[in-house]
């Protein structure tokens, strides 16, 4: 199975939830062989999904951002990303990451003893991710089991039952080596904080073309400006205003590529009152002026902003 160069855009809704279906209702499992470098801006941008994810770095170096943490994964390392955790992948060169995304319901239904005893405690824990290194025996077992799962995907017959067999082994290793205590239960405030962040982001996405202040963004969820700043910094490593400006710039890039509207008009339509400021920030983000971007957007292989 070759590198997936068709699916190179993360499609999300206004809360950053990935809208692509990973597998089917009957078989909620999907294997991907991806190169981060092929995605827009050489990153798999912020997103989350209800499924869990296991990633292996086959080649290159991946930077993974999760919450307020940043992890550097070299070749032969991996990561487990828990359900509903917002994350982002970045690369500075071609970085091949075979990965699997699946619902634990693939293994057992929610009412079963095994789900309640061995699966739910991990999903409900405050552990957002785990890094795997081949230097640690049990983590090396995880990595080798992942490789076995990837290998099975090449087979045409019987891969589903073999995949489930290996995932059971994967989960068994994970469960037996995680420190699950009462203290690892996700606090209500954590889930609540993420929902507040998503509401503020949704407000920005709907109103970016209008004048928006930090106070406006914070007031959508009745927070102080400092609390809003803290939420964006913790989960997205940026400020609300910087997020707003970057979102506006990406919308402007779409208009430059898809329309013949003038630069001044596009700046106004995307919420920039000063065209000089717009051009300066645009070049900082894209390394091109708006006019250069428009010309380059029709060049084969030039990456554009996801719709």
pLDDT digits (tens, 9 = 90+) for 297-306: 876 344 444 4
Rounded to the nearest integer, the mean pLDDT of the chain is: 89
Distance CA 96, CA 92 (A): 12
**What's the rounded mean pLDDT across residues 33-46?**
92
Burial call 88-112: b when 16+ CB within 10 Å, e when fewer: bbbbeeebbbbbbbbbbebbbeeee
Q: For the ranges 76-80, 115-119, 191-195, 259-263, which has the lowest average pLDDT?
A: 191-195
More confident residue, 234 or 167: 167
User: pLDDT tens-digit profile of 7-33?
Assistant: 678 888 767 789 999 999 999 999 999
pLDDT > 90 fraction of the chain, expressed in percent and rounded? 69
**What's the rounded mean pLDDT across residues 220-237?**
90
What architecture is the 188-296 domain classified under in CATH?
Orthogonal Bundle (1.10)
**230, pLDDT greater than 80:** yes
pLDDT > 70 fraction of the chain, expressed in percent and rounded? 90
**What's the rounded mean pLDDT across residues 218-230?**
92
pLDDT of residue 293: 94
Burial class (CB in 10 A: 0-12, 13-18, 19+), 36: buried
pLDDT of residue 195: 74
pLDDT of residue 130: 95
Q: 188: pLDDT confidence band, cut at 50, 70 and 90?
A: very low
pLDDT of residue 301: 43
Domain extents in the chain: 29-184, 188-296
More confident residue, 137 or 183: 137
29-184 CATH pick, 3.20.20.140, 2.60.120.280, 3.20.20.60, 3.40.640.10: 2.60.120.280
Pairing of strands 87-91, 43-47: antiparallel
CA angle 24–26–28, rounded 5-degree value:
50
Q: What pTM value is reported for the model?
A: 0.70
**What's the rounded mean pLDDT across residues 157-176?**
94
Most confident of 41-45, 170-174, 186-190, 191-195: 170-174
**What's the rounded mean pLDDT across residues 288-297?**
92
User: pLDDT tens-digit profile of 82-115?
Assistant: 998 888 899 999 999 999 999 999 999 999 999 9
**294, pLDDT greater than 60:** yes
pLDDT of residue 306: 41
**What's the rounded mean pLDDT across residues 291-302?**
74
């Amino acid at each position: 199975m070759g590198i997936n160069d068709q699916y190179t855009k993360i499609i999300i809704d206004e809360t950053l939830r990935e809208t692509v279906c990973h597998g089917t209702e009957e078989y909620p499992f999907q294997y991907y062989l991806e190169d981060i470098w092929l995605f827009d801006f050489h990153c798999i941008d912020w997103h989350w999904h209800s499924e869990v994810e296991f990633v292996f770095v086959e080649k290159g170096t991946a930077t993974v951002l999760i919450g307020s943490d940043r992890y550097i994964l070299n070749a032969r390392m991996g990561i487990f990303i828990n359900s509903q955790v917002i994350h982002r992948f970045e690369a500075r060169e071609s970085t091949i990451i075979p990965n699997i995304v699946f619902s634990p319901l693939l293994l057992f239904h929610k009412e079963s003893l095994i789900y309640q005893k061995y699966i739910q405690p991990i999903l409900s824990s405050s552990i957002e991710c785990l890094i795997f290194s081949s230097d640690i025996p049990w983590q090396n077992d995880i990595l080798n089991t992942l490789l076995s799962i990837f290998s099975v995907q090449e087979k045409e017959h019987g891969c589903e039952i073999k995949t489930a067999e290996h995932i059971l082994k994967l989960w068994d290793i994970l469960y037996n080596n995680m420190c699950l205590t009462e203290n690892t239960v996700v606090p209500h405030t954590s889930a609540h904080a993420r929902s507040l962040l998503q509401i503020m982001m949704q407000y920005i996405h709907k109103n970016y073309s209008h004048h928006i202040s930090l106070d406006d963004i914070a007031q959508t969820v009745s927070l102080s400006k400092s609390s809003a700043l803290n939420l964006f910094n913790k989960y997205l490593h940026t400020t609300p205003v910087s997020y707003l400006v970057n979102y506006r710039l990406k919308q402007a890039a779409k208009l430059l590529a898809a329309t013949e509207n003038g630069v001044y008009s596009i700046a106004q339509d995307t919420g920039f009152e000063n065209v000089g400021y717009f051009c300066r920030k645009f070049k900082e983000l894209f390394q091109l002026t708006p006019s250069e971007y428009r010309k380059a957007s029709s060049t084969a292989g030039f990456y554009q902003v996801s719709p």
